[in-house]
């Protein structure tokens, strides 16, 4: 396994992060336990979850993934072996604190304490804001429309002060962002410096061979400010495994189960780009899944690549991606495809 520093902290996190959002929906608790056992054995010490999970989000499964992780901690007594990340949900569904903004002190305190309870732990290593409270572009949305009078969100200063309070109480160690824009990241960093408030140590945004938009603005921020990317959806909901090629629809796959939810990668040039990457992998005798993950891992702005698997053979393939090498020739071929089909799934 490979490791990198989380931001400018002393935390050494594995460059493969165990994603958990299917546990409680596509995976049982027993299967989640098996994945955690195997990942830790292979050196994966960094796990990511969220109060919102399982995915797709439903009221009946809200918080269930955290409960599964907490039960594993209780059973194995290995909490100290894991660098644990979770997230507080932004304003969304009525069953989450009435759909209100979550980053005020009252709702944030409730969210954090309930996560700690479900996770059966006294502290969280990385506490992340799942998405912005303000109306902005996220989850692949284009066409930003600015409304000057939109003040229905907590000020960055107040949110950072809340996080500072939680740090002083020992409930969280570090903080991070998710689904955030360059402006949002920059404002957080600026206010942190000016007011001696907690610095964001990571940004969890999508990044994969079908969506390299992170490179346009956020990559520079990540490198210059030491706020590394935790790349989610590195396999583009499975498209970059090749399992949906030639109109295949594997039974119990995410698209087969919840196709209406996973529309982000159903775009006009998706198939053409995936086929081109498949040919590169085939030509160079590389597994397409591992090529896709390794490309993410080797980027200088990436701290860790968040993998998600529903089957053990998928998990093993994903983790073993750290052991392959991509030649300069392969990387050039990948970039040629990107030039032809530029970010088909932003």
CATH at residue 323? 3.20.20.100
**Residues near 71 by Cβ (< 8 Å), separated by ≥ 6?**
29, 33, 120
Return contacts of 62-67, CB within 8 angstroms, 24+ apart.
Answer: 62/95, 62/96, 63/114, 63/115, 63/118, 64/23, 64/24, 64/25, 65/20, 65/21, 65/23, 65/24, 65/32, 66/115, 66/118, 66/119, 67/24, 67/118
Cβ atoms 11, 5 nearer than 8 A: yes
- Supply the pTM of this predicted model: 0.95
C-alpha 65/C-alpha 84 separation (Å) is 13
Q: Which of 177, 314, 174, 312 is nearest to 234 (CA)?
A: 314
Does 144 participate in catalysis according to the annotation?
Answer: no
**By the 8 A CB rule, do 297 and 220 touch?**
no
Residue 104's pLDDT is what? 95
- Written as tens digits, the pLDDT of the chain (346 aa) is 999 999 999 999 999 999 999 999 999 999 999 999 999 999 999 999 999 999 999 999 999 999 999 999 999 999 999 999 999 999 888 999 998 998 999 999 999 999 999 999 999 999 999 999 998 888 878 888 888 777 789 999 999 999 999 999 999 999 999 999 999 999 999 999 999 999 999 999 999 999 999 999 999 999 999 999 999 999 999 999 999 888 887 887 777 777 677 788 889 999 999 999 999 999 999 999 999 999 999 999 999 999 999 999 999 999 999 999 999 999 999 999 999 999 999 9
Are the CB atoms for 164 and 115 separated by under 8 Å?
Answer: no
Number of domains in the chain: 1
CA distances from 98 to 49, 55, 59, 152 (A): 22, 19, 12, 15
Of the candidates 53, 207, 265, 277, the residue annotated as catalytic is: 53
* E-only strand ranges, the chain: 3-5, 12-14, 16-19, 46-48, 83-88, 124-129, 172-178, 200-204, 228-231, 302-307
For residue 183, the enclosing domain spans 3-340
Q: Is residue 315 part of a domain?
A: yes
Say what angle helices 29-41 and 64-76 make with each other, to 10 degrees: 60
Query: What integer pLDDT is reported at residue 310 of this predicted model?
Result: 94
pLDDT at 6: 98
Q: What is the pLDDT of residue 168?
A: 98
Which pLDDT does position 258 carry in this prediction? Answer: 77
Asked if the structure places residue 346 within a domain, the reply is: no
Q: Which pLDDT value is given to residue 252? A: 75
Contacts of 297 (CB under 8 A, 6+ apart): 2, 15, 16, 305, 321, 322
Asked if residue 235 is part of any domain, the answer here is yes
């Amino acid at each position: 396994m490979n490791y990198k520093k989380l931001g400018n902290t002393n935390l050494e996190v594995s460059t493969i992060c165990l994603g958990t959002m299917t546990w409680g929906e596509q995976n049982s608790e027993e299967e989640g336990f098996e994945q955690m056992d195997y990942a830790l054995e292979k050196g994966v010490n960094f796990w990511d979850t969220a109060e919102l999970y399982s995915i797709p989000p439903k009221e009946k499964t809200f918080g269930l993934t955290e409960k599964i992780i907490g039960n594993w901690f209780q059973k194995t007594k290995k909490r100290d072996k894991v660098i644990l990340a979770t997230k507080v949900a932004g304003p969304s569904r009525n069953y989450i604190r009435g759909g209100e903004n979550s980053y005020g002190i009252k709702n944030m305190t409730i969210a954090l304490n309930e996560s700690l309870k479900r996770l059966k732990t006294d502290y969280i290593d990385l506490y992340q804001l799942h998405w912005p409270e303000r109306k902005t572009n996220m989850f692949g949305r284009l066409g930003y429309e600015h409304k000057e009078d939109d003040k229905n969100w907590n000020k960055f200063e107040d949110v950072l002060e809340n996080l500072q309070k939680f740090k002083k109480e020992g409930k969280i160690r570090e903080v991070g962002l998710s689904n955030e824009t360059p402006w949002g990241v920059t404002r957080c960093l600026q206010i942190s410096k000016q007011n001696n408030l907690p610095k964001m140590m990571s940004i969890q945004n999508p990044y994969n061979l079908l969506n390299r938009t992170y490179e346009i603005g956020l990559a520079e921020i990540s490198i210059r400010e030491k706020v590394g990317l935790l790349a989610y959806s590195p396999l583009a909901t499975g498209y970059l495994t090749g399992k949906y090629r030639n109109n295949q629809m594997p039974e119990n796959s995410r698209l087969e189960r919840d196709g209406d939810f996973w529309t982000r990668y159903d775009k006009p040039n998706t198939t053409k780009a995936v086929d081109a990457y498949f040919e590169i992998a085939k030509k160079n005798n590389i597994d397409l899944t591992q090529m896709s993950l390794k490309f993410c891992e080797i980027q200088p702005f990436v701290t860790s690549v968040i993998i998600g698997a529903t089957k053990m053979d998928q998990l093993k393939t994903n983790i073993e991606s750290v052991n392959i090498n991509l030649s300069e020739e392969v990387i050039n071929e990948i970039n040629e495809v990107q030039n032809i089909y530029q970010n088909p799934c932003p």
